[in-house]
Amino acid sequence: MFRLLLVTTLYPNPAQPRHGIFVETRLRHLLAAGDSEATVIAPVPWFPFRSKAFPQYSQYADVPRTETRNGVVVLHPRYLVIPRVGMLLTPFFLALSVLLAVTRLRRSGFSYDLVDAHYYYPDGVAVALISRLLGKPFLVTARGTDINLIPEKTLPRKLILWAANKAAASITVCKALKDRMVELGAAPEKIHVLRNGVDLQLFRPLDREACRRQYGVERTTLVSVGHLIERKGHNHVIDALQYLPEVDLLIAGDGEEEHALREQVKRLGFVDRVTFLGAVSQSELAEIYNAVDIMVLASSREGWANVLLESMACGTPVVATRIWGTPEVVARPAAGVLVSDRSGKGLAEGVTQLLMNLPTNAETRCYAEQFSWDETVAALGALMKDVVVGNQPEKIQGVSG
């Protein structure tokens, strides 16, 4: 049994129930294996009060300092975020916040064997900055934008590589991210590819006709899932309807682009064909996947897109942009279709191609079943145990790359 201290700004809280849920999911499956216990430090930006003038930050004012989620104690210390210059200074403010939280935990008798950081910048860098004071080895998991976008800036890139050198090991959720880290200069022998799995009990085939009635689905229908931000490309999915006159669209998620997307729908005359569902729970999402014919993901950047596996686990194939780790997820016709043209026309062509050769729901579900959490959790547990006992982590065949 080893004791884990998980450190990340990507973790759900009462103000953001789906924020970083993939980190919590991995931890939950790791703990279920019975070889570890964990405490989480999930800092949130400091903001003194609620104000409609600052909706992005004021939501953090209501986040409790401590909570218990799924039996795990989660601390939410505050850290300072300064607009515009925040990218350069945030790792240092975050490091101070984590160190103060750890100090308080130690005073209460808390101890740990390993630090598990998620997202390389600023989180992994912050842990590396205070690693000597933490006094334990640490791992960092790279998840997407922290490797495929942030290193374009010189100082963050140098700090990420420095942190990768100090870490006992790095984990990437897809081979494409490992390749990028190696390209940046990280040591390949310290990087392990441990992909995310999918909860095959939660995301499963349901009564499709009942789900379609529940969400008012009558015609061929797509769903686009994710935060309503530019990177997710919901606008391109809406544009695709111009080339798909017999197809409707559901959009699941909320975010800063909602007004612009609604205006786009009005401008194109698609008010009767597009339904905004807002933020939905995971159980609701499973019903939505079962209600539609195809899930479309038009992202410009993704490490390992969990929504693709969730949809496929429900028996619903996908159309997705050919980016980063996505070809590792959508690797056979039973999974769906990849498109290189991130535009309405390109996505429409992908949807048309898939509809012409639509796999059965059973075939898509069967494909998704190879992505259970079992193999990943076994490899993750073995890696962590090796680090704890001070051994050089060995590659895990079939999971690490």
Contacts for 218 with CB less than 8 Å, ≥ 6 apart: 212, 248
- Is 277 part of any domain? yes
Residue 148's pLDDT is 85
Which tokens is 172 given? 């990437």
179 in the same domain as 36: yes
> pLDDT digits over 320-355, tens only?
999 988 999 999 999 999 999 999 999 999 999 999
Q: What is the mean pLDDT of residues 278-294?
A: 96
State the DSSP string of 200-215. TTTS----HHHHHHHT
50 in the same domain as 149: yes
Rounded CA gap, 205 and 209, in Å? 11
Rounded CA gap, 167 and 118, in Å? 12
- Is 401 part of any domain? no
Q: Which amino acid is at 369?
A: E
Q: What is the residue-averaged pLDDT of the chain? A: 92
138 in the same domain as 167: yes
Q: Which domain holds residue 97?
A: 2-197+372-388
380 in the same domain as 243: no
Rounded CA gap, 191 and 178, in Å? 7
Picking from 261, 268, 223, the residue whose alpha carbon sits closest to that of residue 245 is: 268
- Is 278 part of any domain? yes
- Is 133 part of any domain? yes
User: 111-115, 145-149, 173-177 — which one is most confidently predicted on average?
Assistant: 111-115
Strands 66-69 and 72-75: antiparallel
Rounded CA gap, 96 and 91, in Å? 9
Query: Count of H helices and E strands in the chain?
Result: 17, 16
163 in the same domain as 37: yes
Residue 302's pLDDT is 83
Picking from 235, 377, 372, 255, the residue whose alpha carbon sits closest to that of residue 310 is: 372
Residue 62's pLDDT is 83
Residue 104 has pLDDT above 50, yes or no: yes
Picking from 39, 4, 40, the residue whose alpha carbon sits closest to that of residue 20 is: 40
320 in the same domain as 213: yes
- 342 SS3 class: coil
Residue 50's pLDDT is 60
Residue 60's pLDDT is 83
380 in the same domain as 326: no
Q: What is the mean pLDDT of residues 296-313?
A: 92
* Side-chain half-sphere exposure of 125, counting CA atoms within 13 A: 23
Residue 397's pLDDT is 41
191 in the same domain as 213: no
Q: Total structural domains in the chain?
A: 2
What CATH number does residue 350 fall under?
A: 3.40.50.2000
* Residue 317: pLDDT band with limits 50, 70, 90: very high
Residue 82's pLDDT is 80
Which tokens is 255 given? 């975010």
247 in the same domain as 311: yes
Residue 223 has pLDDT above 80, yes or no: yes
381 in the same domain as 342: no
- Is the distance from CB of 300 to CB of 321 less than 8 angstroms? yes
Lowest mean pLDDT among 111-120, 332-341, 387-396: 387-396
- Is 400 part of any domain? no
Question: 6-15 burial string, b = 16+ CB within 10 Å, else e?
Answer: bbbbbbbbee
- Is 115 part of any domain? yes
381 in the same domain as 363: no
Cis peptide before 122 (omega within 30 of 0): yes
Query: Is the sign of the CA dihedral 371, 374, 375, 376 positive or negative?
Result: positive
pTM for the whole structure: 0.83
Residue 49's pLDDT is 59
State the DSSP string of 144-171. SHHHHTGGGSHHHHHHHHHHHHHSSEEE
* Residue 145: pLDDT band with limits 50, 70, 90: confident
242 in the same domain as 126: no
- Is 395 part of any domain? no
Rounded CA gap, 298 and 321, in Å? 5
- Is 59 part of any domain? yes
